[in-house]
Amino acid sequence: MNFNKERFANFAKYDLTINKSFYRNLAFVTIAGTVCVALLGFFARYNIYDAVVNDTMSGSAYSYVPDPNSFEGYNWIYITAGIEMALLTSVFMAVFAGCWAHNLRNKQGRITELTLPATNLEKFTWHALLMLVGGLITCFVALLAADGINALLTLIVYGTENGITSLTATTFGLFNVSKTLTDVFGPLGFTNYKQDVSDAFGGMENFYTSMSFIVICSFVLNIIIYLFGNALKYKYNIILTYIALQVIGTVISVGFSIGAGMFGGRVLDRSSEDVISDITTAYYVLGSVFLVFAGILVWKSYNLYTKAQITSPLNRN
């Protein structure tokens, strides 16, 4: 494969110059959306705080109403962090991955892209790096901006003596399933949740680690599927990929339900430790399969890019 760093740099410079408005708008929407979620989360927590302080939630049906004298209840940002994680990983990164071949969305763009003085490997590598690595960096910067605004509002409203929970650390901490379950259920009154589960099933740390592993692998595969979707279809690919994922997810869910019904009786005859051990192994194996499949889709996306034509059955306009 012919890869020249100078050609690669020239192509990158050209792409950033020609498409700077597109990239700038995409980054702006990412940052604005992330900040808006942080703002909504803060004001939602503040409204609960205000209602408790003013005693307007007396007799409330809510099972968990924080103590107005305890700042911890109003600094509990797991809901906001969960929404941020879903937004950044399931929405914005899908958009980034689904736009890597945006230069090919029309005939003139395909003519220009295919005739530029750079190899297919150089052009594909630039697009993939910009939208995947660059997209991750943009999401991280957006989260830092949201974290800063959340911290500033927290200082203004609650003062410096109460401390500030990092929205960034909490969001990325969601990948640590063990810690997340403990931190989430602890403030809700289930202070011994993790210990209770460990006592019931035995060695759970490896199980939690396997859950974190498959969550990360699922995230990687989900993003690469959108990358592959854009290699197949240059227009409306994000919507079509989303629909395809929903259909596939439904089929898998139905198949899992049928399988659970057929083999559920066998589980009842086994010890809890054996069942957890089997599930843990299955998570590691399935996560590894996800990563291998993601690698295959990247290779296939590159293969399709090298065969791109001015017109094709899926991309005529």
Q: What is the percent of the chain where pLDDT is above 70?
A: 77
96 CB-contact burial (10 Å; exposed 0-12 / middle 13-18 / buried 19+): buried
- Report the pLDDT averaged over residues 179-197: 58
Helix (H, G, I), strand (E, B) or coil at 315: strand
Q: What angle do CA 76, 80, 81 make, to 5 degrees?
A: 90
Q: What pTM does this model have?
A: 0.84
Query: Which pLDDT value is given to residue 61?
Result: 45
What Cα–Cα distance (Å) separates residue 274 from each residue in 30, 179, 268, 291?
44, 23, 11, 26
> What is the DSSP code (8-state) at residue 310?
S
pLDDT reading at 5 higher than 70: yes
CB of 90 closer than 8 Å to CB of 215: no
Cα 110 to chain centroid, rounded: 30
Q: What is the percent of the chain where pLDDT is above 90?
A: 43
